[in-house]
Chain A
Amino acid sequence: MGAAMALATSGPVAAQVLDARPIVLGDGRVTISGGVTATFGCAAGPSVQGCGDDTGFFNYTDYERSALRMLRLDISAAVRASDRLALLAEVRSDNGRGPEPYALFVRVRPWPARRIDIQAGRIPPTFGAFARRTYPSDNLLIGYPLGYQYLTSLRPDALPANADELLRMRGRGWLSSFGVGNPVPDKGVPLVSAFGWDTGVQLHAATDVLDAAVAVTTGTLSHPLVEDDNDGQQVAGRVTVRPLPGLVVGASGARGPYVARSAAAAAGLDAGRRGLTQIAWGADAEYSRDHYLVRAEAIVSDWRLPIVAAPAIDSPVRAVSTSVEGRYRIRPGLYAAARLDHLAFSEIVGTNRRDEWDAPVTRLEIGGGYSLMRNLMLKLAWQRNTRDTTRTPSRTFVAAQAVFWF
């Protein structure tokens, strides 16, 4: 034969029509990226007709928003003023609501050649591994780990007067109410919130093997804030070690007052000075090699409640989250993943019974993702939730998610 086309493509970049690179302006001083995530899930099972709702609120992040039915738009920007100073921001819009600032902070690097940074403003979480991995393409599955999403019955603005009140709210974290403080039913808090960042100052230093960060913020892990609602600050720290290629081991700790000033006053206490704290410890590990990735994370969180009336809750209530997830890349662009989650709670003693203060939950999620392009991914997942309660003790979901980012 004679001639042939030099490049057997009709377009310049046939396999990557949607550019995955961020928008770069000002000779590299401004970078802008963004993403769109559309998620839709249905409850499934013999007792469910059609596309069922999450009547157990297993995946809700507040009373109105479910992580399985969400259209999220987000835009991030970094403005680099110099080698030493940058401004970073992210705004999000969920389900068509107005954009909300998710992150807004300055990053100062006093010595450009050294990996020491100071960040101030609405800063990324110091604690744990998952909270900084909340971008959809980083999440192997569609749902969130229970420790970062599932709403316990505890609230910062309303407090149980005694153990009986807290036991009555077992498994009702999406809309709990207590006798002390705000009487309006509202959502409880997760162990660590992945849906809002705290405000404060963070110091970070890194080498090739070791990462360390410490932060002082206005809110707590379970209740991050922009404006302080009590008189205390949270101190959080994290250390990450990379002893081997592919292995990352981290440990985190945090301590801060979580009860709002109004609720503490209703209990006759000073919110910032009387030890109404959330204290949490976390450990996480990730190992990857070839086409495998395995992650594990555990979080132990204690909340101290005020003693208002009998039967009193005289010890901190504890929640323990454990999560293991893995991914195997089957072929280019296609992977399978699974996550097993459990949330356990300590026992308290009420007038008539001794029981966990919230209902233990177990979640198994199995799914996978297929990348149509580098920055356009489809995910499918099956999720089974079980909870130790009489009302909606279990729920199974099937969910799909499309993720685009640049």
Chain B
Amino acid sequence: MPPMMLNDVVGSVRSTRAATVAAPGAAVAAVALLLGLLDAPLLSAQVGDRTGVIRGRVELGRSPASNARRPGVGDLGAAPQSPPEPRRAVVYLESAPRGAFEQTEPGRAVMDQRNETFVPHLLAITTGTVVDFPNSDRIYHNVFSLSKVARFDLGRYAVGRSKSVRFDRAGIVRVFCDIHSHMNAFILVFSHPFFALTDAEGRYRIERVPRGTYNVVAWQEGTSSGPRPATVPEGGTTELDFPRR
């Protein structure tokens, strides 16, 4: 069975079989070569028990309010406001162990449209995952993205309906609504399963990481921490915090 990590974190989805679209492609692999990442540990069924955990806390920055509206000078009245979602971050391994890309299968995730807000605001998935975008509002929404890794426009649809997008390329996807300019969200698509969403207090836990030394990155609202090294012992736990810069 594939590793399931950080089950208690909202919005995190794990895949369980080989990714249908691999990996980032030759160019990225070349970059990885140049960066000297190929000596990462081998991941295989035989080493399944030789894994450890990376956990810690990200000191969440004061990122811009995720659902802040434009001033709405042209509106006849104040628009209904939904409470802001707690800030979260994603912590991930910058490079993954060999074989990490052979053990995922397409998963499924949901990004709801509720009270003119994407819920969750931040979603982390593996390549091949299908994300459903149901509309739970009485008004129309129009989900779209112009991101390089996934350009789509789902059109306008009413409450109770849902449309889906499969994300086959790794990268960062900005999601918007064409009708409501304040609606925005992030989907981080990974080509390996070694990532975790923090909880509202910034705590994270990446499980079943093969022993070895990795660079770990914390990402929040478009800003990345510098990569920080972490050595994972066999069967052990490594603590790694990300203080606010």
Contacts and interface: CB of A to CB of B under 8 A. Distances in A.
Interface of A: 1-9, 12-16, 19-22, 24, 28, 31-33, 76-78, 86, 88-90, 102-103, 107, 109, 115-117, 119, 124, 126, 132-135, 202, 204-206, 208, 211, 213, 238, 242, 245-246, 288-291, 293, 329, 331-333, 371-374
B172 A6 contact: no
B76 A126 contact: yes
B172 A9 contact: yes
Contacts of B219: 12
Which of A16, A109, A290, A333 has the most chain B CB within a 10 Å cutoff?
A: A16
28 contacts: A3-B37, A4-B29, A4-B101, A6-B94, A6-B195, A8-B24, A8-B149, A9-B148, A9-B171, A13-B172, A19-B222, A21-B64, A22-B70, A24-B65, A32-B71, A76-B71, A90-B73, A107-B77, A109-B78, A116-B77, A117-B77, A132-B74, A133-B74, A204-B77, A242-B139, A290-B157, A332-B146, A374-B184
Given A22-B69, A78-B71, A102-B73, 20 more contacts: A4-B96, A4-B191, A6-B95, A6-B194, A7-B188, A9-B148, A12-B172, A16-B222, A24-B65, A28-B84, A32-B71, A86-B78, A90-B71, A107-B77, A115-B80, A119-B76, A329-B153, A329-B155, A332-B152, A374-B146
A246 B32 contact: no
A288 B157 CA distance: 9
A333 B73 CA distance: 26
- When A and B form their complex, which 7 residue pairs have the shortest distance between CB atoms, in order from nearest? A117-B77, A15-B147, A78-B71, A245-B158, A8-B24, A290-B155, A2-B38
Nearest to B42: A2
Contacts of A206: 76-77
| Chain B interface residue bracket vs A | 35 or more
Contacts of A107: 77-78
Contact of A373 (B95, B146, B190): B146
B92 interface: yes
Contacts of B64: 19, 21, 24
B223 A12 contact: yes
Contacts of B98: 1-3
Contacts of A33: 70-71
B192 A6 contact: yes
Nearest to B147: A15
B97 A3 contact: yes
Interface in B71-129: 71-78, 80, 84, 92-98, 101
Given A15-B174, A204-B77, A333 B146 contact: yes
B77 A291 contact: no
B153 A331 contact: yes
A300 B5 CA distance: 64
B146 A22 contact: no
Contacts of B77: 107, 109, 115-117, 119, 204-206, 213
Contacts of B156: 246, 288-291, 293
A31 B40 contact: no
Contacts of B24: 4-5, 8
Contact of A5 (B72, B94, B195): B94
Given A4-B23, A107-B78, A290-B157, A12 B222 contact: yes
A24 B64 CA distance: 7
Given A3-B38, A88-B71, A245-B158, A14 B171 contact: yes
Interface of B: 23-25, 28-29, 31-32, 37-40, 64-65, 68-78, 80, 84, 92-98, 101, 138-140, 144-149, 151-153, 155-159, 169-174, 176, 181, 184, 188-192, 194-195, 217, 219, 222-224
Contact of A28 (B25, B65, B72): B65
Given A4-B191, A8-B25, A332-B153, A15 B75 contact: no
A28 B158 CA distance: 30
B151 to A, nearest CB: 4
Which of A4, A76, A115 has the most chain B CB within a 10 Å cutoff?
A: A4
A246 B158 contact: yes
B5 to A, nearest CB: 14
B76 A3 contact: no
Given A22-B69, A135-B74, A289-B156, A2 B31 contact: no
B71 A8 contact: no
Given A31-B70, A288-B140, A374-B146, A2 B40 contact: yes
Contacts of A202: 76
A116 B173 CA distance: 37
Contacts of A373: 146
Contacts of A6: 92-96, 170, 190-192, 194-195, 217
A7 B76 contact: no
A245 B140 CA distance: 6
A334 B143 CA distance: 14
A16 B186 CA distance: 11
Contacts of A22: 68-71
B170 A76 contact: no
A117 B31 contact: no
